[in-house]
Structure 1
Amino acid sequence: MWPWLVSAKSQPALRAQAQALHAHLTDHPGLDLADVGYTLAHARAVFDHRATLIAADRDTFLQALQALAAGEPHPAVIHSSAPGGTGTGEAAGKTAFICSGQGTQRPGMAHGLYHTHPVFAAALNDICTHLDPHLDHPLLPLLTQNDNDNEDAAALLQQTRYAQPALFAFQVALHRLLTDGYHITPHYYAGHSLGEITAAHLAGILTLTDATTLITQRATLMQTMPPAP
């Protein structure tokens, strides 16, 4: 899956941008989808009226661009706006970021993003610097080494005291990639279990120092609880 960011100064201009990108993609069928997404995010000015297209193949991107150009809804198109703006008008949908709880962790889960997106890598380094003083084992290698068969890493991530900080670090770094790298502006945050703490940090309620302290202390306490009968 790749996100493509399209933005313009007005809704008609946004539709025109989508039409132009559709024509360019049609005329150049060999374009790499990831390269297009990178160029749109990092080599173009960002304006108030925005749409993010998320797809895994060329045909879906073409269909989404065609729908955006026509002003029609499409499941691969997410409308957003600059802070304080409406982007597509008062009736436009809004974007929510939902942070998950424990259970989805795995060794090397940040490997791909860490080695291909500098914004994500810098964020993950920063977060792990805050988390590591509370842990007996550095967190970054568990997240970034491309070794799904590493039994030691897998065993550590099965422990709550490492699983929860790992998921917090991954989700906060991903948030920074989406907001700073791809300029997606969420209107709402929500979370489940440890995701509630993650969401509170992303919404500005908890500082990174407070959030990492709370996450690690909570995870350590849960680790010491006796198993359910």
Structure 2
Amino acid sequence: MTSVLSVLVVAVIIGVLLWLALVDRGRRGGRLSAEATRLGLHYRPYASLSERLREAHFMLLDCGQFRHFRHLLEGSLTNGRYLNLFDYSLITAHGVSTQTLLLLPCQLPDCERFCIGRHAWLDEDGFSETLQHPLQPLRKDQRPPRLHQWQLLSSEPAQLWNILQPELCDWLLAHPHLHIEWSAGILLLCRPGHLLEPEQLEAALDHAQSLIRLLQRQAGLPAGHD
């Protein structure tokens, strides 16, 4: 009798936790949908990774075990730049990590894939395939002194070294919590383990677009180039 009661108590607790999780997800979806309408964007509660994103081989997405995600906001911003924003989960060495990914077009001619972050947090595990398109870390002599402990990886390290000028280093040091990747003309940003709240979206977009302008300046592109 005692064992049956214990099982029932555990089942009730699990049921309550699942119910609370579903209520929370529904609340988040409603708030994000309202914010999408305000920003002139489209909202979908569920979506799958597009072929273009899969073929870009972002390290974060290649390390992930999921091909679907929640809470997609997409559409053109007032400046014409197209936005993709969604919550994405993956399994890391420390457990499941869920974060809001922000993706924007960012043309950088003659540039190759790169990944920048203050801390290493993306790990392959026993359930994921070995990365088919790994990135190489920059050598010590290719690293700006102020970023010597950062995770700086690229398919062409010398090209990333050319971009890491003082102004970009200043921006990175002012945003040490961000994970940043670039591939196939797309810039990806997120804060590992952090979900953006609807009221934070505009500020996040402003920061992302300031980084795009800076990257394009460092690459020698004229202002306003997309």
What band does the TM-score fall into relative to the shorter chain?
A: under 0.3
The TM-score, its normalising length taken from structure 1, stands at: 0.24
More strand by share: 2
Q: Please state which structure has a larger fraction of its residues in helix.
A: 1
TM-score (norm 2): 0.24
